[in-house]
Amino acid sequence: MPVLELSKVTKRFGGLTAVSEFDLRLEEGELVGLIGPNGAGKTTVFNLITGMYAPTSGTIRFLGEDIHGKKPHQIARRGIARTFQNLRLFRNLTALENVAVARQMECRYSFVEAALRTGRFRAEEKRVREESLELLHLVGLGGKAYEKARNLPYGYQRKLEIARALALRPEVLLLDEPAAGMNPEESLSLMEFIQDIQERFGVTIFLIEHHMEVVMGICSRILVLNFGCTIAEGTPEEIQANPEVIKAYLGEVQE
């Protein structure tokens, strides 16, 4: 059974078809890339999967269950976590708190217990704190736990956003242009980081990337989107050789 399955998902905004009959099957433990030129509808696909948009038609199944009509927070709790193209950290919270906000989803203490600081409250808070710290250490941000997110260097902010998404302990991790704004060298090291995370956490990753080169090295499979339609799908080698893809990226050759 695929972890995530989209079939014939279409999203229209008025007269504009942002995504058209999009199909996707993510098997457990895969690392799949979604590439395409600006405005191809890549982020829209993410917004559809995470429930931020409702599809105009088509079905989205997560672990065999139709998640149509579920709210973003419900989908997040079910196990689909995401990052954003333009960083959306809780800027005035520390790195630790950023992660804790996601990690606390499994907290079991009630409002009254919180107000009275009962034993269970203390134990649960301690657990959240320890697990969050551990996660920060795992992604190499251990030394930055008490820094405010907005004061972190850009590359660390990118990593923190990934750590925050991982704190939800997701089945599927959606990364929206994780290497945006990075130079080729930084992008490469980030891709290694992502690969490392995938191995360590055993999470299925679906990532958007604008630059083709960076995904080529780590993705087992790549989908290419242009004007809302999937124009190619295959291994990095197949994609690189695909004339449709070259056309979409470089324009048509004048005969």
**Under the rule (CB under 8 A), what is the footprint of another protein?**
50, 52, 71-73, 76-77, 81-82, 84, 88-94, 96-97, 100-102, 104-105, 107, 109, 111, 114-117, 121, 125, 128-129, 145-148, 164, 168
Give 209-234 as a DSSP string: ES-HHHHHTT-SEEEEEETTEEEEEE
Q: Which is nearer to another protein, 73 or 200 (CB)?
A: 73
Q: Are 32 and 57 in contact (CB under 8 A)?
A: no
Nearer to another protein, 18 or 99 (CB): 99
Closest CA to 35 of 239, 188, 185: 239
- Cβ at position 160, least distance to another protein in Å: 12
Q: Specify the residue, 136 or 239, whose C-beta has the smaller distance to another protein.
A: 136
Q: Among residues 88 and 247, whose Cβ is nearest to another protein?
A: 88
CA distance 203 to 198: 5
93, two tokens: 């919270």
CB of 238 to another protein, least distance (A): 33
Q: What is the closest distance, in whole angstroms, from the C-beta atom of residue 82 to another protein in the complex?
A: 6
CB of 181 to another protein, least distance (A): 18
CA-closest candidate to residue 20, choices 212, 177, 231: 231
Q: For residue 164, which amino acid is it?
A: R
